[in-house]
Amino acid sequence: MIIINPLKKFTLLFNAHTNTFLNKVSSAIVLLLILSFNSLFAQKLERIEPMFWFAGMHNPKLQLLVHGENIASSSVSLTYPGVKLLKVNKVENPNYLFLDLTIAPAAKAGKFPINFTAKGKKIFSYTYELKNRDKSAGRIQGVTNKDFIYLLMPDRFSNGDKSNDVVQGLTETALNRDSMYYRHGGDIQGVINHLDYLKDLGVTTVWMTPEVENDMPQASYHGYAVTDHYKIDPRFGTNALYKKYVEIAHAKGLKVIKDVVHNHIGTQHWFYKDLPMKSWLNQWPKYTQTSYRDQTVMDIHASAADRKQMLDGWFVPTMPDLNQRNPYVQNYLTQNHIWWIEYAGIDGLRLDTYGYNDPVYMADWALKVQAEFPHLSVFGETLVTAVANQAFFTGGNTVNRGFDTHLQGITDATLKDAIYEGINGKNGWVDGINRLYATLAHDFLYKNPNTNCIFLDNHDMSRFYSMVGEDFDKYKMGMSILLTMRGIPQMYYGTEILMKNFSNPDGLIRSDFPGGWEGDKKDKFVADGRTKKENEAFDFVKKLANFRKSSPALQTGKLMQFVPQDDVYVYFRYNAESKGTVMVIVNNTENEKALSTDRFAERTAGITSAKNVITGETVEFKNIKVPAKTTLVLELR
């Protein structure tokens, strides 16, 4: 932050020499001079965002947000080869200016002053910098169906730096691990300290819930009520540490996903306290909450009022809804995300509350971001109840939408529900294991279902182990399906050590990872700290995840499924080029099943034996015995 007020300096100088000064001029003249200085120097520059930019971007346009007291009364100028100030936009609030710049492709990295003048005199300047783009190998790789994502909440994973547990000056300074709604002290350094643990587990990609500043008075730990888009929350670390975290992860062969929120901010956001204009937010005569009805966005019969409430209603009272039809808001958000990607070199983005955003803007956002970073991967959160609803939001569905969203993938909540039904449900024509088959049969609605992020739970829902009644056989069934299914698998932190709990009433689904804090009674990052069953779960996930890393069939292979018969569901992942095939057999019943493989000749011709991926045992292939409540994963030979 830059604060420059020459009036204060003048006043101090005047007070120090009052007697001498008054001996030479009359008090009336002194008053006139003070008022003149006050008029001249009333402006105060507080911030410019983005605070720096990059030379050689695909889009030559850049819009700078300038904020400061009465800044609109200033004139602005700059001189730098290849950079032009096209327009100075004044808006409703005189504390803002929006500067439209163009940066020529030939513009070189360097620094130059942006000068602010009033009444013909320069009052201050901001040294702006264009940096070279970082073209180092291994940056912005993209996240694909070759990867295995580990989702964690940094506040609840590990405390690697106790010095930032409490930061004075922020709204919330309480640190209380006994409460699910206060901060616990986990941070980015804690994640860095355990990257080797994740790599050993077979994880290839780390996704943290938002790390940017959330200076909110309550529940500031989760990150989804941003109060400064360009600043890592100091209780997590610094911008430089976040960049270092990405670099260390890349050096270890791990990728990084950043979680971003287009839809809303927190009520303590600095620009919420001093809005640039009324239309910066979606405003209502009285508080109006979103209906959470995603159907209104796609329903051809929907009321315009219902659609508006879904898109423009506020998520909760503490999260004001941004108006993404406002071009200044559009530029601000898009540039912020591009800035973070280029600055830190992250590999993918997860888009929070995707369905609540303005659809036309989000399509434009996707084009602009992908133009700068062709290899970046993006998936949107769509916690909906039907495959068609999910597919509606994905790229390629131009017939249904009239335009392309360019969204690569979604969080596949309907497949998650189908897996639960397949594990927990009673088999029937459309129930039990048949639900899983039927859900996958709708993959024709997606342009590419392999880009969907598949999961069993996350930070907003009951944990998987609790949802299967803490039945370890069902746990193994679900994890086997997750790590062999089409799409990009994501696992919530602690699932590998059987962390449990339901989403209501106490938020215990966001409990601390045992061993992440100095003084924890058990350190479950190491085998000696885990129980026998926890080690069995860890080893089970590790075995499958690391097999997946070496299996072209599971990484890039096609999916072929067969209609369930005798309550047994079979699907294959196969890769024609490598001739690799994995056969997955799901028996969700309480009885052992005998499975003849004759029916699967399309995929099993020439196969003489199979290896159980978990046990390493060779399986007699003609007639396979499938134990009760088991998912067999077989590598065919």
Give catalytic residue positions: 352, 381
d(CA 156, CA 208): 11
Spatial CA neighbour of 198 closest among 497, 554, 536, 416 = 497
d(CA 152, CA 186): 11
CB crowding 357-378: b at 16 or more within 10 Å, else e: bbbebbbbbbebbeebbeebbb
Spatial CA neighbour of 257 closest among 349, 148, 339, 374 = 349
Residues, the chain: 637
For residue 305 the two structure tokens come to 């009022």
d(CA 96, CA 45): 10
- DSSP class of 3: -
Burial environment of residue 112 by CB neighbours within 10 A (0 to 12, 13 to 18, 19 or more): middle
- Which regions of 192-325 does DSSP assign to beta strands (E)? 205-208, 212-213, 228-232, 255-261
Q: Calculate the alpha carbon distances from 563 to 144, 399, 586, 591, 624 in Å.
A: 28, 30, 12, 19, 18
Whose structure tokens read 């500031």?
220
Write down the H helix ranges in 486-593. 532-549, 552-556
For residue 261 the two structure tokens come to 């929120």
Q: What SS3 state is found at 394?
A: coil
Return the C-alpha torsion angle 330, 332, 334, 340, nearest 10.
-170
Spatial CA neighbour of 349 closest among 214, 255, 231, 240 = 255
d(CA 220, CA 544): 36
- DSSP class of 289: B
Tally helices (H) and strands (E) across the chain: 20, 26
Contact 491, 541 (CB under 8 A): yes
The dihedral region occupied by 470, where left means phi > 0, alpha psi between -120 and 50, and beta the remainder, is left
Contact 381, 393 (CB under 8 A): no
